Structure 1
């Protein structure tokens, strides 16, 4: 559930608490006195209707006061009971007293419908329309009312329905405003998270560049001071290794459709520039590979290509299950690498050639 949805649920939960209080006050403040005066054709039906409405309110309060949404079964059962109670209370009133004080259930049950169906607006409007239609049909069935009775009925209907529909409109406006505010706050949090992630990524890149340059500077200083002989095979291999690492690092900052192949191609380019004949093959569609995993996949490749003398073969294979990088070189030095938590490494010697393979299961 998103923050916007939670904000809407919070508004509905708060409005239900208000509706429970309002319904209870209206029942015992306005409906109880006419009920005690016994101004009915069938007093027992009126008492039964009042008891049903009070029971529905009490059942709803169990969820409402804990700020939980009403179960669908409770909302359906409660709506049917309230409709039945409204019809029972109307039948208990004499036809000439309908829409007056003894007919307290006509305006009261709308608040019960609001309590039960506040988050189901279409059903709520339909049920209110059915209630008004049934009450009007019973009113007209008793005989042709005079002008005063029609005016009383119209006033009672207008005052009850407009106030109840106003509650629906207010609730929807509050929900919309809360959802919009929550969406803005969520978007602000996302932007802040992205900014922090970008800053952390930049810091990581700076640290990585610093580490790579820190490894290169002693080698350059040794060459400049004559401590290391540039004709020495180990010195040449170290230079090739550092050059390949830097070239791969620079390639990681490029915006390209296939970053993994781009980084591997950068490593191959460095090897070709120093005279190694490299055969490079790629198969399979591009798959997203995290930067950290790409570094682990290409790390052994960098070491293998920097140790190659004359020939090397590099292949990148992508399938639906894994990504593999394999390299075969004619290096004299054995290039050993260890597996990590996410990348498996295999290597072996085959005559004058070495084969090394890294594998990431996606």
Structure 2
């Protein structure tokens, strides 16, 4: 339950309590004890406050602003002064003192969202009533103590219960938010796991026919085309493993992984990098690395790889020894431009992606 819901529910209950108290308990006392116009003026002021708050509740509006709540509290305390000073001598905290308990409920009604202001207003109300009791004299101190203790303790108890409900509501909301966050992380983890599985399955799907041909001795590793297929598969798998590493510069990390596979085959590779790291989507990284990976897989002696990053473009280029026929390229996103040429035993390939 949100703070607004707690306060709205509490105020609805308080409107009913105040209405019933004022109509059933205090009005008969006011009528039975003739106290003059000041007492009736106080009653009318309190009734106007109740009408205002009740209209606010029925309209479903948000809690009153600080200024509005302060004005309502001031009207309520004014009513307390009028009603208390209109009492006959020695009547404070007695049957004729209809306003003492009612004013406390009114203060709770208008200041329930502001506990510090409520306690201060209740203290001012009680202090004034006690001062008037001492000023007027001829009252029963024991009865006065019981009335003050019973009235204020019950009203402060309602305030404490409201704060407890607020605390429990916030704890429940926090627990719900943490539960939702955990569920979201779980769903994202499952999705990531599924994406990884699909990616590996896609790479293995290209590798399985090669493994099947080797197992069935349909092809031989002595064949140049078969060795080229194996080299391409090794580079692709190594790039796929590198793609899922958590590193500051994923693109350079994937390029370095492909270079490492080529160097293990004896290819002398030089890598030149310029520019600072730029965020590159995964699909775009695949398209940028793929041409270079194919060239390195086919390279026989030397290769030069360059990575250029500017504010508007990311470019991956390679020049390598290569046969006349390169491995086939896969699908390339429209945002990536790839140019590849083979001439005089050299392959030149370049992939470019504009950042904006």
Question: TM-score scaled to structure 1, two decimals?
Answer: 0.80
- Residue among 107, 119, 139 paired with 2:101: 107
Deviations 1:256-298 (A, max 9, x none): 55545433322222233331513143653686x7xxx224323
Aligned residues, how many?
342
Q: Does 1:121 align with 2:115?
A: yes
Other-structure match for 1:3 = none
- Residue among 262, 265, 269 paired with 1:277: 269
5+ residue gaps, structure 2, are none
Other-structure match for 2:180 = 189
Deviations 1:339-362 (A, max 9, x none): 45xxx423446997432223556x
- 8 Å CA contact 2:104, 2:152 repeated in 1: yes
Q: Does 167-176 or 95-104 show the bigger shift? A: 95-104
- Residue among 307, 313, 323 paired with 2:305: 313
| CA distance 1:316–1:156, change in 2 (3 Å) | farther
> Once the 2 structures are TM-superposed, how far is the Cα of residue 81 of structure 1 from its aligned partner?
1.6
Q: Take 1:89 and 1:101, find their aligned partners in 2: how far apart are those partners?
A: 13
- 8 Å CA contact 1:297, 1:359 repeated in 2: no
Partner secondary structure for residue 328 of structure 1: strand
Other-structure match for 1:137 = 131
| CA distance 1:220–1:125, change in 2 (3 Å) | same
> Once the 2 structures are TM-superposed, how far is the Cα of residue 253 of structure 1 from its aligned partner?
4.2
> Once the 2 structures are TM-superposed, how far is the Cα of residue 229 of structure 1 from its aligned partner?
7.3
| CA distance 1:183–1:48, change in 2 (3 Å) | same
Q: Take 1:110 and 1:123, find their aligned partners in 2: how far apart are those partners?
A: 13
| CA distance 1:161–1:217, change in 2 (3 Å) | same
Other-structure match for 2:7 = 12
Other-structure match for 2:54 = 61
Other-structure match for 1:162 = 153
Question: TM-score scaled to structure 2, two decimals?
Answer: 0.81
> Once the 2 structures are TM-superposed, how far is the Cα of residue 51 of structure 1 from its aligned partner?
2.0
5+ residue gaps, structure 1, are 1-5
Mapping of residues 335-350 of structure 1, within 5 Å? 338-339=332-333, 344-348=335-339
Deviations 1:230-265 (A, max 9, x none): 687776555444322211222244455554543332
Q: Does 1:27 align with 2:48?
A: no
Q: Take 1:353 and 1:250, find their aligned partners in 2: how far apart are those partners?
A: 26
Partner secondary structure for residue 97 of structure 1: coil
- 8 Å CA contact 2:234, 2:261 repeated in 1: yes
Greater radius of gyration (CA): 2
Other-structure match for 2:351 = 356
Other-structure match for 1:329 = 319
Q: Take 1:157 and 1:196, find their aligned partners in 2: how far apart are those partners?
A: 58
- 8 Å CA contact 2:313, 2:352 repeated in 1: no
| CA distance 1:60–1:244, change in 2 (3 Å) | farther
